[in-house]
Amino acid sequence: MNEFELIHRFFSRPPADGTVRLGVGDDAAVVMPTPGHELLLAIDTMAEGRHFFADVPPATLGHKILAVNLSDMAAMGAVPRWALLSGTLPNSDPDWLAAFSEGLFALAKRYDVSLVGGDTVRGPCSFTLTIVGEAPAGEALTRAGAQPDDDLWVSGTLGDAALALAAIQNRITLNPATLAVLRTHLETPEPRVALGLKLRRLAHAALDISDGLMGDLGHILNASDVGAEIELPLLPCHPSLTALLNGAERPLALHCLLSGGDDYELCFTAPPAARDALIALSNELALPLTRIGAITATPGFTVFDEQHHPLPALPAAYDHFPNGTPP
């Protein structure tokens, strides 16, 4: 199978809708944006050894490279539309590629996203996906705009993916049924696209939590020039994480909850007047939305523990280049 057979067989599918005038097969794709809308563009890379293990099930990898990009669209309140995929592959194993592309296209289909092009080269396994989405002009949600006295909210549960990773790496033992559940959050996260679209009318600021609540919330606070106070007991998490929080593994549990990566939940701020609408929205989407604290005028943030004492040192967020990694 040569490069072009590979592209044709695994990455060429009919587009999701009539917005694609030209997809895979020419030098560039041609798409038709909706009049009156702005385009939103994001890109994410996943590299073997850094973001996934060599033995990861390929279908989950195909899902995840798209899911993390859809999550960026969700955070901005955008409708995801078109994607470009750059794959660096060590070989052209047809079974592996078939499973990868199944995982990718199954998720793409659910969100009406068209894969309109890409690039395929040989090398150490890594995938980069570019997503393009749309939002009505001027309406995209951003990290700026949080206001003092806004409520601070998160969707879903926090720390599931980090806890699964800790178990896979034998840093902690979980019962197999629990690990199986948490593992799906790590390997096949569900992007909160429907939530993001509804938040356009309700939230002041939003982002998706890819690198842990503390680090990512810091981005909202910086962009909005505000601070925050968070109540640890309010943070939504899996019961097994709550149990660890109350035992000898508390440091690991705190790390998962506050700075664990790969959750892909949305964190957003909204005025207290939006509470009822957000509770209704949570029911409508069958997705937990939890108020975890509030925005303050004073910069910086504090996490209060169960006794309402400020937590001393906050675990740091993941950083690919901590303190300027030397060359």
Q: In the complex, which residues of this chain contact ligand ADP (CB under 6 A)?
A: 7, 11, 24-27, 85, 87, 115, 117-120
Q: Does 28 bind Mg ion (CB under 5 A)?
A: no
C-alpha span between 241 and 55 (Å, rounded)? 26
Among Mg ion, ligand ADP, none, residue 87 binds (CB under 5-8 Å by kind) = ligand ADP
From the CB of 128, what's the least distance to ligand ADP, in Å?
10
Contact assessment for residue 133 and residue 78, using Cβ atoms and an 8 Å cutoff: yes
User: Quick one: DSSP state of residue 172?
Assistant: S
Nearer to ligand ADP, 15 or 215 (CB): 15
C-alpha span between 165 and 261 (Å, rounded)? 10
Among Mg ion, ligand ADP, none, residue 62 binds (CB under 5-8 Å by kind) = none
From the CB of 26, what's the least distance to ligand ADP, in Å?
5
From the CB of 86, what's the least distance to ligand ADP, in Å?
7
Return contacts of 30-39, CB within 8 angstroms, 24+ apart: 31/81, 31/82, 31/114, 31/116, 31/132, 33/134, 34/134, 36/136, 36/137, 37/134, 37/135, 37/136, 37/137, 38/134, 38/135, 38/136, 38/137, 38/138, 38/140, 39/132, 39/133, 39/134
Residue type, 243: A
Contact assessment for residue 35 and residue 82, using Cβ atoms and an 8 Å cutoff: no
Nearer to ligand ADP, 86 or 302 (CB): 86
**What tokens does 50 get?**
């850094």
Cβ neighbours of 146 (radius 10 Å): 25
Nearer to ligand ADP, 13 or 198 (CB): 13
Nearer to Mg ion, 29 or 74 (CB): 29
Quick one: which H or E segment has residue 47?
A: strand 37-47
Nearer to ligand ADP, 51 or 192 (CB): 51
From the CB of 27, what's the least distance to Mg ion, in Å?
4
Q: Does 27 bind Mg ion (CB under 5 A)?
A: yes
**What tokens does 318 get?**
């993941």
Among Mg ion, ligand ADP, none, residue 189 binds (CB under 5-8 Å by kind) = none
From the CB of 43, what's the least distance to ligand ADP, in Å?
14
Binding segment for Mg ion (CB under 5 A), chosen from 19-27, 45-53, 130-138, 190-198, is 19-27
Nearer to Mg ion, 87 or 196 (CB): 87
Q: Where are the beta strands (DSSP E) in 139-239?
A: 151-155, 205-209, 227-231
From the CB of 121, what's the least distance to ligand ADP, in Å?
8
Give the residues lining the site for Mg ion (CB under 5 A).
27
